[in-house]
């Protein structure tokens, strides 16, 4: 007898989540410089003017190629109904698994996505704003970055 559709998806989601957790646990540790990221100040120079200086650790926002943005839209669109049925708690777990899978598929930008979670919102708003809005409503979040936990 074939399994119901939700059971095979649940098993796939559980396997994906386990893989993501295993990959995250096996990663090395990195040290983050102190200071506020992205702050720029002006310091006096020897010529009497001012020269811009950047705080260590400041990074430019992550940009995503159009093909990767389309891939994220294509991955998220069929999951919207699952998010509505599963509710916010299970839906957020599914969102995390989906975002990490997308980041690994597209050049291994997983660590960069974790450092700049808002890239998911920027990418979806530009590529498929309807899908972005539906995901926010289904998950009960102010933005998708708030639902990305690890």
User: Using one digit for the tens of pLDDT, what is the confidence trace for 14-34?
Assistant: 555 555 444 444 443 333 334
**Is this model's pTM higher than 0.75 or not?**
no
CA distance 95 to 46: 52
User: What's the token pair of residue 97?
Assistant: 């698994």
Backbone angles phi, psi at 39, to 5 degrees: -85, 140
CA distance 99 to 141: 15
Task: Give the domain ranges of the chain.
Answer: 66-147
35-71 pLDDT tens trace: 444 434 434 444 444 333 334 454 667 788 899 999 9
User: What's the token pair of residue 71?
Assistant: 């891939």
CA distance 64 to 91: 24
């Amino acid at each position: 007898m074939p399994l119901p559709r939700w059971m095979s998806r649940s098993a796939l989601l559980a396997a994906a989540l386990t893989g993501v957790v295993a990959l995250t646990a096996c990663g090395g540790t990195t040290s983050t410089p102190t200071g506020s990221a992205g702050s720029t100040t002006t310091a006096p120079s020897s010529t009497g003017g001012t020269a811009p200086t950047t705080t260590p650790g400041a990074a430019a926002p992550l940009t995503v190629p159009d093909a990767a943005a389309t891939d994220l839209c294509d991955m998220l669109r069929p999951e919207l109904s699952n998010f509505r049925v599963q509710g916010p708690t299970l839906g957020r777990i599914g969102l995390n698994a989906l975002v990490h899978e997308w980041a690994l598929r597209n050049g291994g930008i997983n660590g960069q996505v974790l450092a700049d979670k808002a890239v998911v919102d920027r990418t979806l708003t530009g590529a498929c704003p309807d899908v972005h809005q539906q995901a926010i409503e289904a998950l009960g979040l102010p933005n998708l970055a708030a639902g990305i936990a690890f």
